[in-house]
Copies of this chain bind each other. A is one copy, B any other.
Amino acid sequence: MIRFKNGKVITFAGAGCEAEDIEVWTDKDKISFVGKPSDEQLKNTAFEREIDLDGDLLIPSFKNAHTHSAMTFLRSYADDLPLQDWLFTQVFPMEAKLTGEDVYWYSKLAILEYLTSGVSASFDMYFELDDYVRANVESGFRSVLCGAVSGERANAKVLEERYLKYNGIDPLISFRLGFHAEYTAEYGLLEDIGALAEKYKAPVSTHNSETAKEVAECIGRYGKTPTGLFEELGIYKYGGAGFHCVHLSEEDMDIFAERGVYAVSCPGSNSKLASGIAAVTDWVAKGINLGLGTDGPASNNALDMFREMFLLTSLQKLRLGDAAALPADVVLRAACSGSALAMGLNDCDSVAVGKQADLTVIGLKAPNMQPIHNLAKNLVYSGSKQNVRMTVCAGKILYEDGKFFIGEDEKRIYARVGECFEALKAR
């Protein structure tokens, strides 16, 4: 058991966002105690380690609700290009040459970066899943794989096989039905994914309305928005997630609200790729569940939830000309709790007994965290990765005081990433 004492805790177990002066104990992968222990309780408990938070802050860790982790290899490789050039002349040709071993190392690099940002889990959409899973499980990092099929109807079978294979493969891994996007899927595939949703009564997650072009072309093809089409085919019948959602119509939002679909905003990617500003305050007003993601490191290019939190709210303020738009507590809850729920990680959304011990410790004795008037505002408006003192996943400390504990030397990962990229270019 680990004891976190002498700190402040934002639990997100209730409606508020207040920091409490309480303790948190973990037992193996779970939280076993939250509160003020009695002398009796303390006397009867043996801890492996007692961590003196010394006034620092413990929160449910951040969860990155949309990413393509292995795309680290293309970071800074082809930025400052128009979107279509970037995708077709740079990204796709390079991706076509990726091996499983490549994905393994590039994913490990992303895991290091998540940990430095206080992230304990990712909702990842990519390929070479065996190697991706191996990278996560070896590192002790949690990941929810999002189905990424595209193309023809037959690929629905592939999706179902993966759904059955990867759910249950490891306690840190789960798999959600999903596909790349409407614009890369034949109609038959979409139909069959709707049938899979019904067969497993399962949520479905996908890129949705990232660009105006995507929406216009879908309307051209089907006379409907992507969300309208998914609704018609039963794809969102049991919920799920839409990634980006920059260009949702009012009717789309109503479907999201009714079906309990999570809208996952990716403001860093949406700004860097000039996709637009999502109407996030409208989502919240309609009661749509809100998640937050970085998107992949080729489009963002950081995997930094602090930057995403600041962007999430400041872009709403800009969009509406209203400095009061999307307050900090809503943003922090989305990053810690909403994103977990978007991924189906219902036991990773808060600090409460029986929940998974997915925790982040934020150091407050740092210039950008002082003075302390309001901790949620400090985190969202001036917080930085520099303040992450510790990242804990399933009760294991994977990152502490700048050091990684993922069973692999980080310098070896940097070296292997460089070697893999040289080999890829030569292929």
Contacts and interface: CB of A to CB of B under 8 A. Distances in A.
Contacts of A274: 317-318, 320-323, 325
A360 interface: no
Given A81-B323, A324-B80, A303 B368 contact: yes
A146 B383 CA distance: 28
Interface stretch (A155-163, A228-236, A413-421): A413-421
A328 interface: yes
A17 B112 CA distance: 28
Interface stretch (A56-64, A123-131, A370-378): A370-378
Contact of A381 (B72, B300, B322): B300
A414 B370 contact: yes
Nearest to A366: B116
Contact of A384 (B302, B365, B370, B377): B302
Copies in the complex: 2
A75 interface: yes
A14 interface: no
Contacts of A270: 318
A364 to B, nearest CB: 9
A301 B371 CA distance: 12
Contact of A82 (B315, B324, B328): B324
Task: Say which size band chain A's interface belongs to.
Answer: 35 or more
Contacts of A373: 75-77
Contact of A421 (B113, B371, B377): B371
A110 interface: yes
A365 B315 CA distance: 31
Contacts of A322: 82, 274
Contact of A382 (B75, B311, B374): B75
Given A79-B328, A365-B411, A382-B297, A109 B317 contact: no
A320 B274 CA distance: 8
Of the candidates A268, A273, A323, the one having the most CB atoms from chain B within 10 angstroms of its own CB is: A323
18 contacts: A79-B323, A79-B377, A80-B328, A81-B324, A109-B370, A116-B368, A270-B318, A274-B320, A274-B321, A274-B325, A300-B381, A302-B381, A304-B382, A304-B384, A311-B314, A370-B413, A371-B414, A384-B386
Contact of A271 (B300, B307, B317, B372): B317
Most buried by B among A86, A277, A384: A384
B370 A323 contact: no
Contacts of A324: 80-82
A79 to B, nearest CB: 5
A272 interface: yes
Given A365-B411, A384-B384, 4 more contacts: A109-B367, A109-B371, A301-B382, A307-B310
A385 interface: yes
A75 B374 CA distance: 9
A410 interface: yes
Pairs A-B, 8 closest by C-beta atoms = A113-B367, A76-B377, A112-B367, A271-B314, A302-B382, A301-B381, A80-B327, A301-B382
Nearest to A270: B318
Interface string A269-281: 0111110110000
Given A80-B323, A368-B303, A374-B77, A385 B385 contact: yes
Contacts of A271: 314-315, 317-318
Interface in A359-416: 365-368, 370-374, 377-378, 381-386, 402, 410-411, 413-414
A83 B386 contact: no
A73 interface: yes
Given A109-B370, A297-B382, A410-B367, A323 B273 contact: yes
Query: Among the interface residues A110, A313, A321, A417, which one has the most CB atoms of the partner chain B within 10 A?
Result: A321
B80 A370 contact: no
